[in-house]
Amino acid sequence: MNPEIIIRKIKPEEAAQFAKFSSDLFAETFNKFNDPQDMENYLAEAFNLKKIEQELANPNTYCFYATKNSMPIGCIKVIIADASFTGIKSVELSRLYVSKEYHKQKIGATLMAFAIDFAIKNQAQKLWLGVWEHNQKAIDFYHKWGFIKTGIHNFKLGNDVQQDWLLEKVLA
């Protein structure tokens, strides 16, 4: 992919930086489509420091930065699910964000390739994610990577209940 880009695991002591970075990227992407109060409420809930610290401490949750010149320019969060409920070991790609100034530089592709490799190394049979039904740019990106729509689920942004598409990529 891009040799200037380094993907590294986020350390627990970076929780505050990661919370702000993730929140900023989410807002950068979705502010213009949502009610400001709903956005403010969602960001306060989803990216508060305590929640991010819990995510980083969870042994099944992994957060990574994509960095360029040691500066974060993108990130992903992946969650390993055991096979006890479905019989299929899977990995959820819970977040994939790239700073707007680095769009069209294949950073998203680098992160996606990393997520797929991560899932395979963890013996997952599928990689799945949720994407807002109105985020056509992201939907097109995921389709290029072989993800197919398998369902829908509600996503609550503040008081606004939106629909996400569930997309899956079979790995094995």
Tokens of 28: 């950068």
Range 142-158 average pLDDT: 96
Q: What is the pLDDT of residues 94-146, one digit of tens each?
A: 999 999 999 999 999 999 999 999 999 999 999 999 999 999 999 999 999 99
Tell me the pairing of strands 126-132 and 148-157. Answer: unpaired
83, pLDDT greater than 90: no
Inter-residue long-range contacts of 85-88, CB under 8 Å, 24+ positions, other chains counted: 88/125, 88/126
171, pLDDT greater than 90: yes
Question: Is 142 a residue of the active site?
Answer: yes
Distance CA 8, CA 150 (A): 31
Q: How confident is the model at residue 84 (pLDDT cuts 50, 70, 90)?
A: low
Domains of the chain by residue range: 5-170
Cβ atoms within 10 A of the Cβ of 130, count?
18
Q: What is the pLDDT of residues 22-58, one digit of tens each?
A: 999 999 999 999 999 999 999 999 999 999 999 999 9
Topology of domain 5-170 in CATH is Aminopeptidase (3.40.630)
79, pLDDT greater than 80: yes
What is this structure's pTM?
0.92
Count Cβ atoms within 10 A of the Cβ of residue 94 and give its class: 0-12 exposed, 13-18 middle, 19 or more buried.
middle
1, pLDDT greater than 70: no
